[in-house]
Structure 1
Amino acid sequence: MVDPDLLRTVHREVGDRLHREQQRRLRSGQGELAGANEQQYTRRLIADVIREHAEKLLAVGQSPLDPEIEQELAEGVHARMFGAGRLQSLLNDESIEEIAINGYDNVWVSRAESKTPWERAESVASSDEELIEVIQGLAAYAGLNSRPWDAANPELDLTLPDGSRLSGVMGVAPWPSVSIRRHRWEKAELADLVGNDTITDEAADFLRAIVQARFNIMIAGGTKSGKTTLLRALAAEIGPEERIVTVENALELGLHKFEDRHPNCVPMEVRLANSEGQGYIGMDRLVRRTLRMAPDRVIVGEVLGPEIVQMLNAMGQGNDGSMSTIHARNSREVFERIATYAIQSQERLPHEASFRLIAGGLDYVVFISRHPKTGKRRLDSILEVNGYEDSVLASEIFSAGPHGSATWTGTTPQRLDYLAAAGWQQPSTGGW
């Protein structure tokens, strides 16, 4: 039986060495290790750390571990870093979009486009304590910074190696609660969204044009509507010659993983405070920092609060082609939602000032929705921001009917010249 403390110690040391190697490779322009290469390199690190542990035992006159225990230790560390115990089988199921864990033995899953919203699944651990330990292991080396999850840090947000987004909380319910949002389209393209009827060909042409014409875009929608997938698909239209800086609460977009698409990409995530309460770096500060990093485009994974002011400032000060996502119930509610976030900021901007910022920086709002029963996603609306006059002026360029995804409304965009230069023609004249 492997000593749990030794397992944690080796896991931590291997993770630290892997992190340092990944940072070294990024600085030297080699690109991060990924997939089978990352796992192969990690196995070598595990063997090195276990060998060093044996040498330390011999140096003080103690016997090293039995070969069987060493093997069990090595497999345990590998499973912690690239697996999640019994939870891994759910993460490997491509049909699952959402996993909800209400304690170790009350597990539910939601499948893509299933008529049944939730179905019961097998237990993912033998106890709540084991569940907590598994999640703590996943959190130790997720993203750029270790994310603690314990009584002192009861809230957890992180992105798993496969791109899934995990949210956990403890101490506020009788059991630890964990939600995992799986991303089945980590390397999404507009063609993929056309293929699954989320958007039409003509909408894909328009979206492609507004990205290539370097307009600033806000993607809006409700929970599980597909905002992040659409953002990835739009980012795929950005040329490899452009420098991108992304800002997220927890790394999720993963644009930096695809060097063929985005070789000059800097991913930044919120840094939590240490045990003394020092070192916190929030979203608004990171967005402000991007202005000094010579980006061609700034992409904020999700606007959740006062960082919206810095985002709009960045859009209005020359960071053309920037993108972000926001929660909203419809496309026109986006303006009120932004103004509400802005009034909560340090600047405490009144609505009028926020609306002027929107009119000066934001060009298009793209709204996507998910049917609550069928799970079907579709593009509902594309608004063009046209200025300010008592409120934000906007015209709807694409709108969805009662059954299908959004189609052209017949409204000619004010920015037609720029769109035409990017290759777009109005659908009535034959498309691209």
Structure 2
Amino acid sequence: MIKSSFGRRFVEAEGRAIVAVPQPAPKLEEDHFRVPAMDETRRQMRDVLLTRIEPAAAMRLSPDGLRTEIRRLVGEIGNEQRVQLNAREQERLVQELLDDMVGLGPLEPLLADDTITDIMVNGPDKVWVERRGKLELVAVRFRDNQHVANIAQRIAASVGRRVDESSPICDARLADGSRVNILLPPLALCGPTLSIRKFSRRAITLDMMVRQANLSEPLARFLEIAGKARLNILVSGGTGSGKTTLMNAMSQAIDPGERIVTIEDAAELRLQQPHVVSVETRPANLEGNGEINQRDLLKNALRMRPDRIIVGEVRGAEAFDMLQAMNTGHDGSMSTVHANTPRDALARVENMVLMAAIGLPSRAIRMQIVSALDLVVQIERMRDGIRRVVSVMEVVGLESDVITTQELFAYRYEGETREGTLRGSFVCSRFRPHFLERVAEFGLEKRFQEIMGLEG
């Protein structure tokens, strides 16, 4: 329990005094209350209250117990300083203190808002969010740069990572699986920067994506069959286009009896299957040792008896190991890549394999790509804020040194509504895919032909 009295700070836990430090209580400025300014009043009361709390003892209290003691302290200090706060103002101050002590400070209300998908902190005074695909500046402020840095370090420490001036870049995650990127000064000139990608509390399905106009009903059923038929799929798109969300939704089609190994830099995949083993990379320690990268994890995953291997995102030399896995009996594997078009995605994979410095000629690499990949699914965040699957391309083969492809589905722009929403349709090309025999092996050929509008 936390006790306090004017001029002294007392902290007790389990009936035993831990701290008793004589301390003058800072006086609030009398002139301040002649002109009401509640933000400044709360700030000054918070400063007084923090001088009376011993953090180590406070952390031993339950959340409810801590809230009760802070609420009592707020009332006590208000009486001492003759500050009149109504019940709502007192509760707001209590919540701010709790968020600072055991949460993520000013970010907590944003994290609780289900309409927000991204949170971007550009220093202490500028916090942006994304709602319905649009960015907006919100009235959320940190006290100073150190306040932002403290929150960033708390996030990193929660997943066993560190971020400071000597190591100013960090990828981490929150307890709910939201992805966080942290960038500190001197690299970030505007102050500590946080980028948080939130994920829906609900499991995303292809049917939900149809209702959100991310894709059409036939395209959803096509992707469902592609997952069931164990096609190797590469999801391509720009930053924030919805690649991971789409891959999570497609995982719904995977047989529950299969063993899946997921490999990520920061765990964010939320597959909807019972037998999932999630592994995560590890950065180097202070001495520069102990790093475990995606390539190391991919090699180890092959010894874990996986039915499918899903790589959260390929960024470098691990692309070679991903292709090897797809070519060695791990059909149905998936991954994502940053690229603007399906052709760009294939070119990026080729360049990343070259980064492995294995000395393979370009033709041999392209042969690996053609034999490994079946589909490239391109998703894009369009100017109306809606994320749409704009292309599904089949990887067909190799002619001379060129990878041949055919587009099976495409989004065709048709216009724009008065509200600024794009109008368009998801068009099926009705080309006969080369993987039709694979679909037939799973007894899905008739349904697949109906979706594609193919003759029997």
Asked if residue 64 in structure 1 is aligned to residue 18 in structure 2, the reply is yes
Within 2, Cα distance between the matches of 1:262 and 1:65?
Answer: 51
For the 8 Å contact 1:383–1:395, the answer to whether it is kept is yes
| Higher mean C-alpha displacement, 121-130 vs 191-200 | 121-130
Cross-structure match for 1:245: 261
- CA deviations over 1:166-195 (Å, ceiling 9, x no partner): 111112133111111222366211111111
1:411 aligned to which of 431, 435, 440: 431
Within 1, Cα distance between the matches of 2:201 and 2:231?
Answer: 24
Within 2, Cα distance between the matches of 1:108 and 1:428?
Answer: 42
Which AA in structure 2 matches 1:122?
A: A
Cross-structure match for 1:220: 236
Distance change (3 Å), C-alpha of 1:104 and 1:415: same
Within 1, Cα distance between the matches of 2:336 and 2:181?
Answer: 18
Q: Alignment partner of 1:400: what SS?
A: strand
Asked if residue 427 in structure 1 is aligned to residue 451 in structure 2, the reply is yes
Q: Alignment partner of 1:366: what SS?
A: strand
Within 1, Cα distance between the matches of 2:201 and 2:393?
Answer: 25
- CA deviations over 1:21-53 (Å, ceiling 9, x no partner): xxxxxxxxxxxxxxxxxxxxxxxxxxxxx97xx
Q: Alignment partner of 2:316: what SS?
A: coil
Cross-structure match for 1:330: 341
Cross-structure match for 1:299: 310
Q: Alignment partner of 1:263: what SS?
A: coil
Cross-structure match for 2:139: 122
Q: Alignment partner of 1:325: what SS?
A: strand
| Higher mean C-alpha displacement, 93-102 vs 64-73 | 64-73
Displacement of 1:113 after TM fit? 3.5
- CA deviations over 1:181-223 (Å, ceiling 9, x no partner): 2223662111111111111110011101111001100000111
Within 1, Cα distance between the matches of 2:128 and 2:439?
Answer: 45
Within 2, Cα distance between the matches of 1:300 and 1:355?
Answer: 20
Displacement of 1:314 after TM fit? 0.3
1:234 aligned to which of 247, 250, 254: 250
Within 1, Cα distance between the matches of 2:295 and 2:187?
Answer: 28
Q: Counterparts of 1:280-291 in structure 2 under 5 Å?
A: 280-291=291-302
Within 2, Cα distance between the matches of 1:349 and 1:140?
Answer: 41
Which AA in structure 1 matches 2:103?
A: G
Q: Alignment partner of 2:108: what SS?
A: helix
Within 2, Cα distance between the matches of 1:318 and 1:80?
Answer: 50
Cross-structure match for 2:156: 139
* Structure 1: tracts of 5 or more residues without a match: 3-49, 256-260
2:103 aligned to which of 71, 75, 83: 83
Q: Structure 2 length as normaliser, TM-score?
A: 0.74
- CA deviations over 1:212-252 (Å, ceiling 9, x no partner): 00110000011111100000001121122110100001111
Displacement of 1:97 after TM fit? 2.0
Distance change (3 Å), C-alpha of 1:81 and 1:187: farther
- CA deviations over 1:66-90 (Å, ceiling 9, x no partner): 8985456634798579731111111
Cross-structure match for 1:19: none
Distance change (3 Å), C-alpha of 1:274 and 1:194: same
Which AA in structure 2 matches 1:64?
A: I
Within 2, Cα distance between the matches of 1:81 and 1:272?
Answer: 27
Which AA in structure 2 matches 1:351?
A: S
State the identity as a percent: 36
2:320 aligned to which of 287, 302, 309: 309
Cross-structure match for 2:367: 356
Displacement of 1:405 after TM fit? 4.7
Looking at CA atoms only, which structure, 1 or 2, has the larger radius of gyration?
Answer: 2
Cross-structure match for 1:194: 210
1:395 aligned to which of 406, 410, 415: 406
Matched length: 365
Displacement of 1:425 after TM fit? 2.4
1:209 aligned to which of 210, 213, 225: 225
For the 8 Å contact 1:250–1:270, the answer to whether it is kept is yes
Cross-structure match for 1:342: 353
Q: Spell out structure 1 runs of 4+ moving beyond 6 A.
A: none
Distance change (3 Å), C-alpha of 1:346 and 1:405: farther
- CA deviations over 1:401-432 (Å, ceiling 9, x no partner): 1242533111111122332423422336599x
For the 8 Å contact 1:198–1:405, the answer to whether it is kept is no
| Higher mean C-alpha displacement, 390-399 vs 65-74 | 65-74
Q: Alignment partner of 1:332: what SS?
A: helix
Asked if residue 276 in structure 1 is aligned to residue 287 in structure 2, the reply is yes
Q: Counterparts of 1:37-76 in structure 2 under 5 Å?
A: 63-64=17-18, 70-71=57-58, 74=61, 75=63
Q: Alignment partner of 2:246: what SS?
A: helix
Cross-structure match for 1:384: 394
For the 8 Å contact 2:379–2:391, the answer to whether it is kept is yes
Q: Alignment partner of 1:166: what SS?
A: strand
Within 1, Cα distance between the matches of 2:229 and 2:302?
Answer: 20
Q: Counterparts of 1:4-23 in structure 2 under 5 Å?
A: none
For the 8 Å contact 2:222–2:451, the answer to whether it is kept is no
Asked if residue 157 in structure 1 is aligned to residue 171 in structure 2, the reply is yes
Within 1, Cα distance between the matches of 2:364 and 2:402?
Answer: 10
Q: Alignment partner of 1:99: what SS?
A: strand
Within 1, Cα distance between the matches of 2:236 and 2:368?
Answer: 18
Displacement of 1:356 after TM fit? 0.9
Cross-structure match for 2:180: 166
Distance change (3 Å), C-alpha of 1:218 and 1:164: same
Within 1, Cα distance between the matches of 2:202 and 2:166?
Answer: 33
Distance change (3 Å), C-alpha of 1:410 and 1:119: same
For the 8 Å contact 1:219–1:325, the answer to whether it is kept is yes
Distance change (3 Å), C-alpha of 1:72 and 1:293: closer
Distance change (3 Å), C-alpha of 1:239 and 1:427: closer
- For the aligned residue pairs, the C-alpha RMSD in angstroms reads 2.8
Asked if residue 177 in structure 1 is aligned to residue 193 in structure 2, the reply is yes
Q: Alignment partner of 1:236: what SS?
A: helix
Within 1, Cα distance between the matches of 2:278 and 2:223?
Answer: 24
